Chain A
């Protein structure tokens, strides 16, 4: 075993806890954890749960920034706990809170129902342009056609952009950066024919127009998805549609 993996140092984690049965309001609870240089904040929380307090609740699954489950506020910034390392935060005490702008369910677990509804509202699946039976083979796509949407398909629904967005904080009905990135992922896909359905979901006050181009969504994204870019592109699309819908009558979806 190399020196790096032997825990020799310790760090204080102040975790915002909320146990609905006993807490009137969320309270910071302090824990001291021994850490090694390769320990993530997620592992530190797991160590607390395993050895100090089994009731500590947090979401996690993949441990490698793929599943998007372990988003939380670490020293006030939205981060994935699995790719934030204790060594980068030491020696000061670290404050860990649930994702900002979301209702707390318990400890670090937030309610995601509204977010899921927003994702569902923009038809997050390919609506084929032309019906094509399976026996006719695959829908082909060139590398350039794939490049048009690929970066937006990297979104892992971790909601860090929602926790960072001041407009979502001010208006929980704002469709938000993540859903806009996902919309662009499908609208940019050459195989897709559902562009108008999706655009019709974002023309409102709580749609794309609630964004004031703060841009922090793209800064905090752990997958470099650039939702701010998706929002900007769709302000243009929505503005064009605003004028086109007068001259180009179309059937309601």
Chain B
């Protein structure tokens, strides 16, 4: 016989896990690739240090972002970085009680969502 359990009503489910997972994915990506990307795109490519000649030429870069996998990489790196920053900023602003939560969500998640859509649109506009 199963013992009698006094049941408690379950509270309403939060949508926070969606943003938390995007935050987590972006945090992982930025920790792994962020510094490397800064060094690559900020220093090595402009100066041609340690990269093959023509490595960052327009046709090369265009070919990269026209490839479906290249598009996914660029989307992940741009969008997830923003979602990571958005969550961190949102929590900080919420802790500081900087405004009503809905406004803070629009200012953080909203910006990340908008930039994600813009990135997708641009990646599609570049063509395949």
Q: Which residues of A contact B (CB under 8 A)?
A: 120-121, 123, 127-128, 131, 166, 170, 194, 197, 200-201, 203-207, 209, 212, 235, 238-239, 242-243, 245, 252-253
Contacts and interface: CB of A to CB of B under 8 A. Distances in A.
Interface stretch (B3-11, B37-45, B109-117): B3-11
11 contacts: A128-B3, A201-B8, A203-B13, A212-B91, A238-B17, A239-B17, A239-B20, A239-B21, A242-B13, A242-B17, A253-B5
A235 B3 CA distance: 29
A170 B21 CA distance: 24
Interface in B4-59: 5, 7-8, 10-14, 16-18, 20-21
Contacts of B3: 127-128
Nearest to B91: A212
B20 A201 contact: no
Given A170-B95, A209-B16, A235-B17, 13 more contacts: A121-B8, A123-B5, A131-B1, A203-B14, A204-B13, A204-B14, A205-B12, A205-B16, A212-B95, A239-B17, A243-B17, A245-B13, A252-B10
Interface string B90-128: 010001000000000000000000000000000000000
Contact of A209 (B1, B8, B14): B14
A204 B5 contact: no
A194 to B, nearest CB: 8
A109 to B, nearest CB: 27
Nearest to B8: A121
Nearest to B15: A242
Interface of B: 1-3, 5, 7-8, 10-14, 16-18, 20-21, 91, 95
Contact of B12 (A131, A204, A252): A204
Given A131-B2, A170-B95, A253 B7 contact: yes
A244 to B, nearest CB: 11
Contacts of A128: 2-3
Contacts of B21: 239
B92 to A, nearest CB: 8
A166 B20 contact: no
A112 B10 CA distance: 22
Nearest to A133: B1
B5 A235 contact: no
A126 to B, nearest CB: 10
B10 A203 contact: yes
Contacts of A121: 8
Contact of B20 (A205, A235, A243, A253): A235
A123 B4 CA distance: 12
Contacts of A131: 1-2
Contacts of A253: 5, 7, 10
B10 A200 contact: yes
Contact of B14 (A123, A127, A207, A212): A207
Contact of B11 (A194, A207, A235, A243): A207
A235 B14 CA distance: 12
Nearest to A202: B11
A204 B11 contact: yes
B91 A209 contact: no
Contacts of B2: 128, 131
Contacts of A194: 5
